[in-house]
Amino acid sequence: MRSCSSWTNKAIPEEYRMIAEGLFPPEGYAKGEEPSLEQVQDFAEILGLGTDYKRVMEAVNSGKDLGGFLHSFQNNFDLLIQKTWVEKADESRKENLIEEVPDFIAKLEQKNYLKALEEFGDILEELAWLFFGAQSQKDDFAEYTFRIDTQLGLFWWYGNQLCSKRTKEWIKETDKEIHKAILFLGICYLTNF
C-alpha cells in the first residue's frame, strides 16, 4: 500500500488549530483516549457543514434509511472523479477509483462503518492524487491546500489523518461510535463539495 505523505499540523491556521488537533492530536491518542462526538461536530462546523453533518448523523443514529444520502454521495463523488482532468497515464487511476465506490457504499449500507472508515482514507488519498497529482504526496501539501482555501485545506488535513499509520492503528483497536462520526464527516464534505 502507498504511504501517506507527512503533512504537518503547522499549516493549520491558528484559529482552527485547537479544534483540528482535538479531533486528531499531533502525537496521536493516548491509550484509552479518543475524541468526543462534540469535537467531531466542532470540526464539521469549521468545514462549513455543521447543519448538514448534524442532520446526517441524526439519521444515521436513528437508523433511518440513508439511501437518498448515499445516492447523492455516490453521484457527486462520481462527478468529481469524472470531471477531474488527469494525464493519460492516470486514467486507470480514475477508473479504479470509480470502481471502488460501489463496494464502499455497500459497506455503508451494511453498517460496516469500521471497514468503511479503513477504506475511506485510501479513497481520499487516491482522490487527492487525481485532484493534485504528485503535489498530494509532498510534505507541503497541507500548506498548499490551505493557500487555495482554508476549508479545503482542513478537509485534506483530515484525509491525511485518516491514512496515517497511528490513526489506522487506533481504528483497528476498537469499533466505536466515534469512528462512524469521523467517517460521515468526510462523506458529508464530499457530498456537498
pLDDT digits (tens, 9 = 90+) for 19-78: 999 998 888 777 778 889 999 999 999 999 999 999 999 999 998 889 999 999 999 999
Using the predicted structure, report yes or no on whether residue 4 has a pLDDT greater than 70: no
pLDDT digits (tens, 9 = 90+) for 118-150: 899 989 999 999 999 889 988 888 889 999 999
Instruction: Mention every residue, 6+ apart, whose C-beta is less than 8 A from residue 172.
Output: 118
- Read off the pTM: 0.89
Question: Would you say residue 21 lies in a domain?
Answer: yes
Question: Would you say residue 4 lies in a domain?
Answer: no
Instruction: Mention every residue, 6+ apart, whose C-beta is less than 8 A from residue 193.
Output: 76, 80
E-assigned strand segments in the chain: none
Domain count, the chain: 1
Question: Would you say residue 2 lies in a domain?
Answer: no
Reading the block at residue 144, the C-alpha cell is 498548499
Using the predicted structure, report yes or no on whether residue 88 has a pLDDT greater than 90: no
Question: Would you say residue 54 lies in a domain?
Answer: yes
Question: Would you say residue 161 lies in a domain?
Answer: yes
Question: Would you say residue 165 lies in a domain?
Answer: yes
Are the C-beta atoms of 108 and 74 separated by less than 8 Å? Answer: no
Are the C-beta atoms of 62 and 78 separated by less than 8 Å? Answer: no
Reading the block at residue 60, the C-alpha cell is 444515521
Q: Identify the residue with better confidence: 169 or 40.
A: 40
Segments forming the whole domain that contains residue 140: 9-25+34-191
Of 66-75, 148-157, 170-179, where does mean pLDDT reach its minimum?
A: 170-179
- Give the Cα separation of 193 and 182 in Å (integer): 17
Mean pLDDT of the chain: 87
Q: For the chain, how far is it from start to end, CA to CA, in angstroms?
A: 27
Question: Would you say residue 160 lies in a domain?
Answer: yes
Instruction: Mention every residue, 6+ apart, whose C-beta is less than 8 A from residue 149.
Output: none
Question: Would you say residue 85 lies in a domain?
Answer: yes
* Per-residue pLDDT at 49: 95
Reading the block at residue 83, the C-alpha cell is 470531471
* Per-residue pLDDT at 2: 38
